[in-house]
Structure 1
Amino acid sequence: MGEMKPIKTLSGDGEFPCYVAAPEGIATAAIIVIQEIFGVNKGIKAKCDSWAKAGYMAIAPDLFWRVNEATNLDADVEEEFQVALDLMGKFDQDQGIRDIEAAIHFARDAVIGGKVGCVGYCLGGRLAFMTAARTDINASVGYYGVGIDGLLGEKNAIAHEVMLHIPTADGFVPADAQAAMHEGLNDHPRVTLHDYAGLDHGFAAEFGARRDETAATLADSRTAEFFKEYLG
């Protein structure tokens, strides 16, 4: 359904690739789909296609474009998992937020007068939280975001609604980090947290061994209702 398209950087002096999926009719809102460490792979593209079928314009920026061309990795292949970790170590997250902001600008032009949200997974879940704090995004969702407990100092900058999906047995987000997230965010008027008891990181992946069908369906339904409410 979608295709790779170039989008101008925030500074306007370059371009980077994004997977863009448009609905059959006129999109009145857009969703930025923020990748895991595995790049804009078939799972991220499938999520974009799903949002397009629901009537949104969906855009997945290739955030690793400065460190690797066309990253497309499989979480279930150990060698590719290690490549992903290496790319993550080279990735500039602050620059990544600026690229996400460029995608937001692109989306706002594409859905004139419409709202723009974002949804991210793993690294993308962390970046979704950062996007909520650092940009004018209208709504943000993060799935199993890593290291959000270290970003709580930015919570007062969050102006629009945020939803976070937290699997309680996440091997990358230990119990103390989860507790800090709840302590720091439970009383935030714009933030909603959902726990998924006994589940591990990656439970909502579109493909592969990590997926838990029941929990993924529940989380995705919550996300869909969230965007319906806040993106219109």
Structure 2
Amino acid sequence: MKSYTEINTFGGGAEEFLAYTSQPTTPPKAAIIVIQEIFGVNEGIRIKCDQWAAKGYLAIAPDLFWRIRPGIELDPDVPEQMQEAFGHYNAFDQEQGIRDIEATIREARKMVGGGKVGAVGYCLGGRLAYMTAARTDINASVGYYAVGLDGLLGESHAIAHPLALHIAGNDGFVPKDIQAKMHEGLDGHPKVTLWDYPGVDHGFAATMGNRRVEDAAMLADGRTEAFFAQNLS
């Protein structure tokens, strides 16, 4: 069942935002928060939610750009929309975004009767998945081609639950020196797993479009599915 959930923000105010929600046909194993790219909760993100629901999870994708404009949906294969997405990225308050993710965790946990909640994010969402692992009580997190993690490695000591990161070897937004810093800072962490995908670029696991690399996407998604099966059961 597909719908939208109203989520109350933290802070005691009356503000709320929407999250696309996909329910499984049987009682959910757990909840998975799908964290958007810079393109909003577009068709690709909604399909990812539906795919998780088909595997037995409650899947929920909060509209993190709602303070900029509710309901942003952009296509990365359209150059003008790509440029608009970069503008939204620059305007987005990541600290508020983490608070909205925490509010989503709270709501998702209620929706699964106090069960476990995981998060999976892409690009900006991959960075936010790392921040979520370090700053909230999420049970497990996965980040795909997360950007700018070299500036967040000092938070790694706060990661208390399993985190997995998929790294695109030829990522145009995460150069190889940054990838090396990620390995240096995280390879020895008992809760963190890093997977490398040589030869592929940023966005290789997109649901659709020009960025998708089928073999690498299937491998990464299979690893994510096994990771959640182990850590959200």
Interval of TM-score (by shorter of Structure 1 and Structure 2): over 0.9
Query: What TM-score do the two structures reach when normalised by structure 1?
Result: 0.99
Spell out, residue by residue over 1:134-178, the C-alpha distance to the aligned partner (whole angstroms, 9 max, x if none).
Answer: 000000000000001110000000000000000110000001100
Aligned pairs, how many?
232
Residue matched to 1:10: 10
- Tell me the alpha carbon deviations over residues 36-77 of structure 1, each in whole angstroms, 9 at most, x when there is no partner: 000000000000000000000001000000011211000000
How far apart in 1 are the matches of 2:197 and 2:128? 20
Work out the CA distance in 2 between the residues paired with 1:118 and 1:12.
24
Shift of 1:12: 4.2
Q: Does structure 1 residue 79 correspond to structure 2 residue 80? A: yes
For structure 2, the 5+ residue unaligned runs are: none
1:97 aligns with 2:98: yes
Q: Structure 2 counterpart of 1:7, which letter?
A: I
Question: What is the aligned-residue identity percentage?
Answer: 63
**CA deviation profile, 1:189-226 (whole Å, cap 9, x unmatched):** 00000000010000000010000010000000000000
Partners of 1:204 and 1:136 lie apart in 2 by 26
Letter in 2 for 1:23: P
Farther off after superposition, 109-118 or 199-208:
109-118
Shift of 1:113: 3.1
1:107 matched to which residue of 2?
108
CA RMSD of aligned residues (A): 0.7
Distance of 2:12 and 2:73 partners within structure 1: 26
Q: What do residues 66-97 of structure 1 show as CA deviations (whole Å, max 9, x unaligned)?
A: 01121100000000001100011110000000
Q: Aligned pair 1:35/2:44, yes or no?
A: no
Length-normalised TM-score, structure 2: 0.98
Indicate conservation of the 8 Å contact 1:68/1:87, yes or no.
no
**Mapping of residues 78-227 of structure 1, within 5 Å:** 78-227=79-228
Which residue does the alignment assign to 2:71?
70
- The list of structure 1 runs, each at least 4 consecutive aligned residues, that deviate by more than 6 angstroms after superposition, is none
